[in-house]
């Protein structure tokens, strides 16, 4: 394998690095992707363009693109290595994670129910305290069965779910 001075510095490899040394410069999760491309390139001419994470403390992201071909019974990969920013989907926080953190920390009792079965999917501590139970005791249980007898809340709740109109319930 031949790498110019920039690629050597970027990838942390020597000018005489072989394929194994090249693979080791990437995070284990990226090594399979690179190895698979090497395997495919050994069978056919291939255009490549992918982004992988380097191993090491910095965990720098590198874009590799180019093509493969055959010369003198050998597979030749020619391409460019470029330092890039992490993929956008890795830098954006998960909006559901923020929602669930607010949900769990809320001082208002909140419960998340399955739309079909009306079972508890998530319960915050305040809601569990209002019910006189722990969150673990409520999870997976049927919401209507946790209510006092005689209330037709299930029907009202199902209407609210189908219409999208907010439901106000004193007991909850």
Rounded Cα distance between 171 and 84, Å, is 54
Rounded Cα distance between 15 and 7, Å, is 9
pLDDT tops 70 at residue 8: yes
Q: Which two tokens stand for residue 29?
A: 């999760």
The CATH number corresponding to 5-88 among 2.60.40.420, 3.90.226.10, 3.30.450.20, 3.40.50.970 equals: 3.30.450.20
Q: What is the dihedral of CA 53, 77, 20, 39, to 10 degrees?
A: 90
pLDDT value of position 172: 41
Q: pLDDT tens digit string along 97-123?
A: 888 889 999 998 899 988 888 899 999
Higher pLDDT, 18 or 57: 18
pLDDT tops 80 at residue 157: no
Three-state DSSP state, 146: helix
| Total Cβ atoms within 10 A of residue 69 | 13
pLDDT tops 80 at residue 155: no
Q: List the chain domain ranges.
A: 5-88, 93-163
Under the banding of pLDDT at 50, 70 and 90, the label for residue 171 is very low
pTM tops 0.75, yes or no: no
Kindly state the helix (H) or strand (E) to which residue 88 belongs, with its residue range.
Answer: helix 88-91
Under the banding of pLDDT at 50, 70 and 90, the label for residue 148 is low
Tell me if 5-88 shares its fold with 93-163.
Answer: yes
Longest C-alpha distance within the chain, in Å? 85
| Domain 93-163 = CATH 3.30.450.20 | yes
pLDDT tops 90 at residue 124: yes
HSE, CB side, 13 Å, CA atoms: give it for residue 60.
13
């Amino acid at each position: 394998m031949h790498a110019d001075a920039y690629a050597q510095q970027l990838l942390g490899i020597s000018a005489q690095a072989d394929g194994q040394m090249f693979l080791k410069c990437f995070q284990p999760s990226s090594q399979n992707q690179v190895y698979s491309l090497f395997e495919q390139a050994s069978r056919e001419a291939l255009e490549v363009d992918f982004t992988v994470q380097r191993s090491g403390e910095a965990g720098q992201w590198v874009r590799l693109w180019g093509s493969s071909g055959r010369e003198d019974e050998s597979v030749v990969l020619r391409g460019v290595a470029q330092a890039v920013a992490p993929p956008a989907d890795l830098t954006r926080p998960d909006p559901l994670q923020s929602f669930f953190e607010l949900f769990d920390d809320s001082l208002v009792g909140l419960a998340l129910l399955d739309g079909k079965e009306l079972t508890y999917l998530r319960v915050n501590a305040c809601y569990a305290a209002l019910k006189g139970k722990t969150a673990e005791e409520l999870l997976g249980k049927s919401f209507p069965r946790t209510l006092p007898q005689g209330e037709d809340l299930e029907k009202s709740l199902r209407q609210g779910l189908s219409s999208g109109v907010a439901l106000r319930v004193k007991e909850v």
